[in-house]
Structure 1
Amino acid sequence: MNVIVIGAGIVGASIAAGLAESGTAVTVLERGRSGGGATATSYAWVNANGKEPTSYFALNAAGVRAHHELARDGAPWFVPGGHLEIAADEAHQRHLDGRIDRLREHGYPVEEFSAERARRSVPDLRVPEGTRKVAFFPEEGHVFPLAYLDAMLGRARAAGAEIHTRTPVVALEPGDVGATVRTADGRAFAADAVVVAAGRWTGEVAALAGAHVPLLQFSEPGDVTVGYLATTDPVATSLDKVVTTPRLNVRPHDGGRLLLQALDLDVAADPDHVPAPDSALAAEFQRRLRETLHGTGSARVERLVVGQRVMPADGLTIVGPSAEQPWLYVVATHSGVTLAPLLGQAVTREVLGGHEPLLDDFRPGRFRDGTTPASPPVPRRPGEQ
Structure 2
Amino acid sequence: MKIAVIGAGMIGVSIAAEAAARGAQVTLIDQGAPGAGTSAVSYAWVNSNNKEPESYYELNLAGLEAHHRLAASGADWLRPTGHIEFATDPEHEVELQSRLERLGELGYPADKITPSYARELVPDLLIPDSAGVVAYFPREAHCYPSLYIRHQLRRARESGVKILSGVAVENFREAPGGVRLGLSDGSTILADRVVSAAGRWTNTVTATAGFGPVMTEYQEPGDVTVGYLAVTNPLSTSIDRLLTTPSLNIRPDGGGRLLLQALDLDGTAAPGADLRPDSSLADEFLSRLRKVLGNTDNASVTELRVGERAMPADGRSIIGPVASASWLYLVATHSGVTLAPFLGASVTAEIMGETEPLFADFRPDRLLDNAPAARLAAPRKPGQQ
Describe the superposition over 1:149-208 as per-residue Cα deviations: whole angstroms up to 9, x where unpaired: 111111101100000100011011122442001111100000000000011111211221
Moved over 6 A (4+): none
In the alignment, which residue of structure 1 is the partner of 2:285?
285
**Residues of 1 paired with 2:224 and 2:145: CA distance?**
21
Q: CA deviation at 1:272?
A: 2.4
Contact 2:81 2:139 in 1 (8 A): yes
Q: CA deviation at 1:296?
A: 0.4
**Residues of 2 paired with 1:273 and 1:72: CA distance?**
40
Q: Tell me the secondary structure at the aligned position of residue 14 of structure 1.
A: helix
**Residues of 1 paired with 2:243 and 2:255: CA distance?**
18
Q: CA deviation at 1:213?
A: 4.5
**Residues of 1 paired with 2:53 and 2:132: CA distance?**
27
- 1:362 and 2:358 are equivalent in the alignment: no
- 1:314 and 2:338 are equivalent in the alignment: no
**Residues of 2 paired with 1:118 and 1:191: CA distance?**
53
In the alignment, which residue of structure 2 is the partner of 1:377?
377
In the alignment, which residue of structure 2 is the partner of 1:152?
152
Contact 1:199 1:332 in 2 (8 A): yes
In the alignment, which residue of structure 1 is the partner of 2:193?
193
What TM-score do the two structures reach when normalised by structure 1? 0.98
- 1:90 and 2:90 are equivalent in the alignment: yes
Gaps of 5+ in 2: none
Q: Tell me the secondary structure at the aligned position of residue 61 of structure 1.
A: helix
- 1:236 and 2:214 are equivalent in the alignment: no
Contact 1:237 1:295 in 2 (8 A): yes
Describe the superposition over 1:1-25 as per-residue Cα deviations: whole angstroms up to 9, x where unpaired: 1000000011100110110111110
Describe the superposition over 1:54-94 as per-residue Cα deviations: whole angstroms up to 9, x where unpaired: 00000001110000000011100000000000111111010
After superposition, residues 170-249 of structure 1 pair within 5 angstroms as: 170-249=170-249
Q: CA deviation at 1:380?
A: 1.6
**Count of paired positions:** 385
Contact 2:313 2:367 in 1 (8 A): no
Which residue type is aligned with residue 315 of structure 1? G
Describe the superposition over 1:209-244 as per-residue Cα deviations: whole angstroms up to 9, x where unpaired: 123451011111000000000000101122010000
Contact 1:10 1:340 in 2 (8 A): yes
Contact 1:315 1:375 in 2 (8 A): no
Which residue type is aligned with residue 69 of structure 1? R
- 1:262 and 2:262 are equivalent in the alignment: yes
Q: CA deviation at 1:323?
A: 2.4
Q: CA deviation at 1:376?
A: 2.6
Q: CA deviation at 1:129?
A: 5.1
Residue identity over aligned pairs, in percent, reads 51
What TM-score do the two structures reach when normalised by structure 2? 0.98
After superposition, residues 81-160 of structure 1 pair within 5 angstroms as: 81-128=81-128, 130-160=130-160
Q: CA deviation at 1:286?
A: 0.7
Which residue type is aligned with residue 17 of structure 2? A
In the alignment, which residue of structure 2 is the partner of 1:297?
297
User: What is the CA RMSD across the aligned residues, in angstroms?
Assistant: 1.0
In the alignment, which residue of structure 2 is the partner of 1:18?
18
**Residues of 2 paired with 1:165 and 1:361: CA distance?**
33
In the alignment, which residue of structure 2 is the partner of 1:165?
165
Q: Tell me the secondary structure at the aligned position of residue 60 of structure 2.
A: helix
Contact 1:230 1:301 in 2 (8 A): yes
In the alignment, which residue of structure 2 is the partner of 1:332?
332
After superposition, residues 71-82 of structure 1 pair within 5 angstroms as: 71-82=71-82
In the alignment, which residue of structure 1 is the partner of 2:274?
274
Which residue type is aligned with residue 308 of structure 1? E
Which residue type is aligned with residue 79 of structure 2? V
In the alignment, which residue of structure 2 is the partner of 1:56?
56
Gaps of 5+ in 1: none
Q: CA deviation at 1:347?
A: 0.4
